[in-house]
Amino acid sequence: GASTWDCNGCVHVYPTEGAELPFVEGFETIEDLDDSGWHIMDDGPITWKLTGDAAHYGSNCIMLENFAIDNEEVHTLTYKPVDVTNMGGGETIYLTYWYSFAGTSGDNSDRFRVYMSTDCGENYSLKQQINTPGLPTAEESDLPFYPEQAGDWSFEVYEFEAGDISSSVSIQ
C-alpha cells in the first residue's frame, strides 16, 4: 500500500553562501528559535525549546523534554550553513558542544548524533554518536531532569576532516 507523510515547514531555503566563522552559539541572545537560523523537525509533540531553567554557561540553553518522549522518536535541530573555507593555512576546525542527559529507570535506548552536510543540506553523514550507556551525564531519574551542577554536563569535540571543508557546512 501507499503511505504519505505531511510536513509543514519541511523545506527551508538558505543563502547560497554560508555564514562566516567564527560561529559561536550560546543561546543567550536568541528570543525565538524560528528567527535564529535554527530549524527544528520532530516526530512527536515534544520539541526543542529555549529555556532559562538550565545552562552550562550563562543563563540559557536549548533543551528537549526527553522525559515525555516515546521510544524511536527523532528530534532534529539543524543550523543554517556556515562557510568554513576561510580557515586556510592549515588551521584545525572544531565543533564543540556541551550536553546534559539523565535517563529514566527502565529501557534507555537514547542516543545523541551529530550529522554534517557539505552540500547545503542535501546529504548528511554521521560524524559523532553517543549511545546509552555512555550518554548519561547524571543519575537516572523518574522525574523531569534539569542539570543543576557543572558535573551534570559533558563537553564533546569533533575535529573537522579534509572532506568536511565547504562553503555550506550544515550541522544537525
- Say which DSSP state 80 is in: P
Would you state the pLDDT for residue 28? 81
Q: How confident is the model at residue 125 (pLDDT cuts 50, 70, 90)?
A: very high
Closest CA to 161 of 123, 121, 118, 112: 118
Radius of gyration of the chain (CA): 17
Beta bridge partners of 79: 38
CA distance 129 to 111: 7
- The string of pLDDT tens digits covering residues 69-122 is 777 788 899 988 888 888 756 788 899 999 999 988 777 788 999 999 998 888
Cβ-based neighbours of 96, under 8 Å, separated by 6 or more: 155, 156, 157, 158
Would you state the pLDDT for residue 22? 67
